[in-house]
Amino acid sequence: MYCGIDWSERHHDIAVVDEHGRLVAKGRIGDDLDSFTTLVEMLAAAGDSAAEPVPVAIETPRGLLVAALRASGRRVYSINPMAVARYRERHSVSGKKSDHVDAVVLADILRTDAHVHRSLPHDSELVQAVAVLARAHQDATWRRTRASNELRSLLREYFPTFLAAFNGRKGHLTSADARAVLAVASTPAAAAKLSTTRIAAALRRGGRRRGVEDLAAELQQALRRPQLRQPAVVEEAMGIQALALLATLNVECASVEQLAEAASEAFHQHPDHTIVTSFPGLADVTGARVLAEIGDDRARFADARALKAYAGAAPVTRASGRSISITHRKVKNDRLAAAGYIWAFVAATHAEPAKQHYQRRRDHGDRHPAALRHLLNRLLGCLHHCLATEQLYDPTKAFAQVTPTSP
């Protein structure tokens, strides 16, 4: 028996088919406990047992229903909705669609092609918690960047001297110093009236403890430099808008700090923490992001190549007749790819073996992104090996020199 669930926010359509594709049972449930009990009873009536649980195909890898199905010990397959649409065309070319038909298509996918789809990994509860916090921190970081860019774009239109005053400083607009000063100097007119005492007080409210007076005097001179001005009424309106954007930025900065601490604390409790953080470029936050995406189910990836493809570090070869093209992979785990870019960049900057590997790829003709992907490819292979064998990273083994062969 094979079960397909067409997921939606309001209800879920269920279809169970046998090995010949005949519909055995169908129904519609919600997200409450009674509905899940109904689903279990429906599967039991179709032949579900503890020894051979009925596999389930669904279009989402998360949610209460998926969590309950995974807790029951059965295999759950998350099928991409685009793949489901292609499978639907096998049954009908007219373009018709319904929730029940989609549920049947999902069940039929498992009946015919379960061997080419992967079930959701059997990750531990701890790594699932790390994933929740690490992804939330990543989302908060992206929102902080977006809020900072919006504020920067606005300041360029009426207050460029403020940007120049904090240009080159750590954090730029996201720093506590910049946000504290902008709160009391939202317009050039307000900034011109500020004394060093008020600027110093704002810096202290932002958390600065050293060099306050010197920085306050430096910022006062920078903020009073002559610049082009908007009309007074327009400038005042833009100052109000800047304060509104500043409030959003403050919230996102606080969220990033809080979630980073929580993700690091959960990551420290995981047994793989020591192995992951032994790699150059992987500290608590970045390491938590990487572990969150690859999980701790050792059977999830058959080999290192599968992990590299999942992260987008392995190239894609397209061959047809005499035409052969090798390009970078676009279908990948975007979160892991983003964390991997930071990982490879930091490793190429601070770790000498990784830096030499990156430079060899640049000398070979790779551009910066391609060289980083090649470095990430090597690091991911080492990570897969270290996690499988439970050993720490060793740069002499990871970047052993290989004598190049003549072309």
In a domain, 123, yes or no: no
On the question of pLDDT at 326 being above 90, the answer is no
In a domain, 387, yes or no: yes
Please say which residue of 81, 116, 151 terminates a domain.
116
Same domain, 328 and 248: no
Domain that holds residue 369: 274-398
- Which tens digit of pLDDT belongs to each residue from 327-355? 888 889 999 999 999 999 999 999 999 99
Task: Give the max Cα distance, the chain.
Answer: 82
On the question of pLDDT at 93 being above 80, the answer is no
Evaluate whether 242 touches 157 at the Cβ level (below 8 Å). no
- Give the separation between CA 202 and CA 187, rounded to whole angstroms: 16
Nearest in space to 48 (alpha carbons), one of 79, 75, 29: 75
Evaluate whether 361 touches 354 at the Cβ level (below 8 Å). no
3-state secondary structure the chain: CEEEEECCCCCEEEEEECCCCCEEEEEEECCCHHHHHHHHHHHHHCCCCCCCCCCEEECCCCCHHHHHHHHCCCCEEECCHHHHHHHHHHHCCCCCCCHHHHHHHHHHHHHHHHHHCCECCCCCHHHHHHHHHHHHHHHHHHHHHHHHHHHHHHHHHHCHHHHHHHCCCCCHHHCHHHHHHHHHCCCHHHHHCCCHHHHHHHHHHCCCCCCHHHHHHHHHHHHCCCCCCCCHHHHHHHHHHHHHHHHHHHHHHHHHHHHHHHHHHHHHCCCCHHHHHCCCCCCHHHHHHHHHHHCCCCCCCCCHHHHHHHHCCCCEEEEECCEEEEECCCCCCHHHHHHHHHHHHHHHHHCHHHHHHHHHHHHHCCCHHHHHHHHHHHHHHHHHHHHHHCCCCCHHHHCCCCCCCCC
The angle at the Cα of 156, spanning 154 to 161, to the nearest 5 degrees, equals 125
Same domain, 283 and 388: yes
Phi first, then psi: give them for residue 320, nearest 5 degrees. Answer: -150, 110
Please say which residue of 116, 140, 164 terminates a domain.
116
In a domain, 97, yes or no: yes
Same domain, 289 and 394: yes
Same domain, 223 and 348: no
Same domain, 79 and 161: no
Same domain, 258 and 279: no
In a domain, 99, yes or no: yes
Q: What average pLDDT score do residues 282-307 get?
A: 93
In a domain, 238, yes or no: yes
Q: Count CB neighbours of 186 within 10 A.
A: 23
pTM of this structure = 0.87
In a domain, 121, yes or no: no
Q: Count CB neighbours of 311 within 10 A.
A: 29
pLDDT of residue 401: 64
Tell me what the pLDDT averaged over the chain comes to.
91
Same domain, 258 and 323: no
Please say which residue of 246, 265, 284 terminates a domain.
265
Instruction: Say which CATH number the domain at 52 has.
Output: 3.30.420.40
- Which tens digit of pLDDT belongs to each residue from 102-150? 899 999 999 998 888 888 998 999 999 999 999 999 999 999 999 999 9
Same domain, 112 and 133: no
Same domain, 188 and 251: yes
In a domain, 405, yes or no: no
- Which tens digit of pLDDT belongs to each residue from 52-77? 889 999 998 888 888 888 888 889 99
- Which tens digit of pLDDT belongs to each residue from 230-246? 999 999 999 999 999 99
Q: What percent of the chain has pLDDT over 70?
A: 97
Number of domains in the chain: 3
Same domain, 21 and 50: yes
Same domain, 141 and 164: yes
pLDDT of residue 277: 95
Q: What is the dihedral of CA 275, 276, 281, 283, to 10 degrees?
A: -100
Same domain, 170 and 234: yes
- Residue 25 β-bridge partners: 16
How far, in whole angstroms, is CA 392 from its chain's centroid? Answer: 25
In a domain, 94, yes or no: yes
Of the pLDDT bands very low, low, confident and very high (cuts 50, 70, 90), residue 32 is confident
